[in-house]
Amino acid sequence: MTAAHDDRSGHVIVHGLEGLGLRVVEHLVALDLEVAAIDDGARPGAVQAASALGATVVQHVDGAGAALDAAGLREARAVVCLSSTDLGALETALLVRRLRPELPVIAQIRNPAVARAMQADAGVLVLDVASIAAPAIVEACLGAQGHGLRVGNEVVQVRTVTAPRDGMLRDLFGEALVPLGVQRTSTPGEPEVCPGRDLEVVAGDQVSMLGQVAAWDQVMPPTPAPAPPAGARHRGSAAEEREPGPVGAVRRWSRAVANATDVRLRRALLALTLLSGTAVVLLMVGYREPNGTRMSLLDALYFTAETVGTIGYGDFSFRDQPSWLRAFAVVLMLAGVVLAATTYALLTNLLVSRRLEESLGHGRVTGLRGHVVVVGLGSVGARVVESVAATGTPVVVVERDEDNRYLTQARAAGARLVSGDATLAGTLDLVNLGRAKAVAVLTSDDLTNLEVGLAVRDALGDRDDITVALRLFDRRLASTVRQAFGLTDVRSTDELAAPWFVGAALGLDVLGTFYAGDVPLLYARVQVTSGGGLDGARVDAVTGRSRVLAVRSPGEATTHRVVRRWHTLHAGDEAFVVGPHEELLGLLARDALPAAGG
């Protein structure tokens, strides 16, 4: 990394130090750029961290104008607005646009209508963290179909698979797939990023590769999903749910009824059924018609219903029957009335309370399987709900705030809503956790997300067929949680979003951020600048842990997918590269600098 950034005009102002803002500052400082950070009320630890990184911290105490002036707006090259509120970002962005109309302004605005107006009318580039981060959560929840990338005129997929046996990546996966990351399972630690194909792996290692779908299907043919382990303590299983025929239908219906009713109603129904069954048997055995014939089954059912219902049409009577049968009739009438009244009362209570619960968002989820449970309905959660529902997968949302602004949006997407605390076993039981496909924990608090994730893991026990995707803002905490608790699908929204804001501030062409296994990677396009730092450079001289996926020469319509390490980049080449955020942002910034000795 070179320090020649001083030859370019000005520093970068970052307004807002909470979470994402601090991560953006960290990226910019790593690129040897001067950063002025405006603190609009972040926690003290964030301010101290920004100062320790080398950023100049300015307090927002006398309004946005005074803060921008103190941060050196006149000499700045770009402003990134990451206030904790849309109003704060809006105010700062509009003020910068008025004071320095030519300056690049990038803002995080969560409200879609405001974001569209800011881009169309004020010329502010608005980036939505929810849109950036949600795809990584959705991919973790819906399975191993991978992350799609467009490399030139081709579409490829990044998938994470398990090494089937010991051997080199070249021998296991061939030349058509490009290795992006290897996570050792036998010796846990930092993953190996963008290794060579000669890397030795052992069976069980998690390998992330990139390639066309046809190549993936040839190397790793699709296999049916395994059934949940036998003896799982949760209600139902995938095999039982798919059981065909009348027996399977009866079992599914019985489970649905059992889940929809409480124990008191089930006991009352059972007692009423036993009493009525006994009455039918005794009537068929002991009742005699005036002509001496016995009752048929249908007549016995009819007379039992008449007696329990206290209707009495006069077509049957106990008057001329044996004494023991008349005595039983007294028991039948008294007990039948009590049980029938109890059943009606409990059933009415169930129906009324269920309607109230649905209106308040407390509805119990019954009969669902293969659904995704989303805990926390913020901007990211709402986007995940919409994306998952768009695939036809049922969605259940757990949200504590009954006044949440996104509830209407979730209902419109077809999600079922449950109000409650997801750390409690009762709430997890309400969402049919045992039948779910995945759980996405997406609240706005790291501690709450960790508590819910551990509660879900505890409720699932030894089951590993249900994905638990966890959102954590702090990337270091995310790494620690993966290693300490074995929650593999931990996603840092700040890690995914920060490179987009940095790239936009520097005028770089960032195409995407995604996770390859547990490794966050950046995907970008480099248009090699004449006389820039990449003009005339060999690929192996400019990439360490990054990988050049393809190169398109000037005037050519197709890209060259096979790029050797000795390939030389020339002015006008269009290179598609992938790698760790810090290294790739440095590579993109280097292209704009003069070549060494130039």
The whole-angstrom separation of Cα 207 and Cα 220 is 12
Contact call for residues 567 and 539 (beta carbons, < 8 A): yes
**Torsions phi, psi of 429, nearest 5?**
-70, -35
Model pLDDT for residues 174-211, shown as the tens digit of each residue: 888 888 888 888 776 778 888 888 899 999 888 888 88
Give CA–CA dist 33/146, Å, rounded. Answer: 35
The per-residue pLDDT for 539 is 79
Q: Where in the chain is the domain with CATH 3.30.70?
A: 133-214
Query: What is the arrangement of strands in the sheet containing 467-471, beginning at the earlier edge strand?
Result: 416-418, 395-398, 372-375, 438-441, 467-471, 489-491
Indicate the pLDDT class of residue 326, thresholds 50, 70 and 90. Answer: confident
How much is the pLDDT for 352?
Answer: 64
Token pair 């593999």 is at which residue?
A: 488
Q: Six-digit token pair at 347?
A: 């059933």
**Separation CA 369–CA 236 (nearest Å):** 9
Give 511: exposed, middle or buried? Use CB within 10 Å, 0-12, 13-18, 19+.
Answer: middle
**Residue 14 exposed, middle or buried by CB count within 10 Å (0-12, 13-18, 19+):** buried
Average pLDDT (431-440) is 90
Domain span(s) for CATH 3.40.50.720 in the chain: 1-126, 372-493
| Tens digits of residue pLDDT in 349-368 | 766 655 555 544 444 566 67
Residue 479: partners with Cβ closer than 8 Å, 6 or more residues away: none
Residue 581 reports pLDDT greater than 70: yes
> pLDDT of 135-155, one tens digit each?
888 888 887 556 777 777 778
The mean pLDDT value for 218-239 works out to 52
Residue 199 neighbours by CB distance under 10 Å: 14
User: Average pLDDT, whole number, for the chain?
Assistant: 82
Q: What is the mean pLDDT of residues 323-351?
A: 85
Is residue 594 scored above 60 in pLDDT?
no
The answer on pLDDT for 552 being more than 50 is: yes
pLDDT at 535: 80
Q: State the pLDDT at residue 231.
A: 43
Q: What is the CATH number of domain 261-356?
A: 1.10.287.70
Query: 338 has which bridge partners?
Result: none
The label of the residue with tokens 């990677």 reads: 521
Structure token digits, residue 530: 């004449």
pLDDT, tens digit, for every residue of 7-31? 345 899 999 988 889 999 999 998 8
**What does DSSP assign to residue 288?**
B
pLDDT cut 70: percent of the chain above it? 85
458 exposed, middle or buried (CB, 10 Å; 0-12, 13-18, 19+)? Answer: exposed
CA dihedral 447→448→452→457, nearest 10 degrees, is 0
Given a cut of 70, is residue 112 above it in pLDDT?
yes
Phi first, then psi: give them for residue 442, nearest 5 degrees.
-135, 35
Tokens of 216: 């993936």
| Assigned CATH topology for domain 133-214 | Alpha-Beta Plaits (3.30.70)
- How far is residue 48's CA from residue 37's CA, in Å, rounded to a whole number? 11
Q: Nearest CA to 12 among 90, 114, 92, 104?
A: 104
Q: What is the CATH number of domain 1-126?
A: 3.40.50.720
Q: List pLDDT tens digits, range 557-575.
A: 676 666 777 788 888 888 8
Comparing CA positions, the residue from 540, 547, 550, 499 lying closest to residue 520 is 499
pLDDT of 253 over the 80 cut: no
Q: What is the CATH number of domain 372-493?
A: 3.40.50.720
265-286 pLDDT tens trace: 788 888 989 999 999 999 898 8
- 63-81 CB burial, b ≥16 within 10 A, e <16: ebeebbebbebeebbbbbb
Stronger pLDDT, 413 or 265, i.e. the higher one:
413
Grade residue 1 by pLDDT with cuts at 50, 70 and 90: very low
- For CATH 1.10.287.70, the residue range(s) in the chain are 261-356
Q: Count of residues for the chain?
A: 598
Predicted pLDDT at 259: 56
Residue 527 scores a pLDDT above 70: yes
The pLDDT of residue 84 is above 80:
yes
- Residue 367 pairs in a beta bridge with none
User: What's the confidence (pLDDT) of residue 230?
Assistant: 46
In this structure, how many other beta carbons lie within 10 angstroms of the beta carbon of residue 360?
11
Share of the chain above pLDDT 90, in %: 21
